[in-house]
Amino acid sequence: MNADLATNPPLALDSQQFDASRFPLVRLRRRAVQPGFAFAWAAQMRRLLALATPFVIVAEHDDDETADDFRLRAAWLRTHRAALGAQCRGFIVIEPRIEARATTRETLRQLTDGSGVRTVVVSSMRVAGELTPVLLKHTAVHTNTRMSQSRAV
């Protein structure tokens, strides 16, 4: 991890929505997932992409996301799939309930389908932190790759 970027990100993110203190691990704050958050989320994602530095997004699974926010985020991800595939090395979702991981993985796959971004569902932040350097070592996945990029750990 680049210590300079971790302590002083070159492009400030909204700390109410994203925690970039461990950049290139960027954590979506659970309290940010409120009805209507998708527009602010998209603006923050554009700022992350503008860094032109590989990163990994970590978020806790949230059943309370509205259908409208889900659709808006999915549309943004489809529209920006090339840029996202070039910079984002992975989306990691924390789902502590083992019985819910398969459903969460499928939802995440739908959200990122065609982007080439690796998606993983894990049990804890500790596992997400251990997986982040592994994902960062991988080069960008081309969006025309049709193999499954989604896993549950």
What structural domains does the chain harbor?
3-152 (3.40.525)
CA distance 59 to 91: 8
CA 31, 37, 40, 42 torsion-angle sign: positive
Q: How far is CA 6 from CA 1, 20, 92, in A?
A: 7, 7, 19
pLDDT in tens, 38-59: 999 999 999 999 999 999 999 9
**pLDDT band at 140; cut points 50, 70, 90:** low
Angle at the Cα of 77 from the Cα atoms of 74 and 130, rounded to 5 degrees: 105
The answer to whether the beta carbons of residues 108 and 115 sit under 8 Å apart is no
Position 125 scores a pLDDT of 95
pLDDT tens digit sequence for 78-106: 899 889 989 999 999 999 999 999 999 99
Is 141 within 8 Å of 118 (Cβ atoms)? yes
Which range has the worst mean pLDDT, 16-25, 42-51, 135-144? 135-144
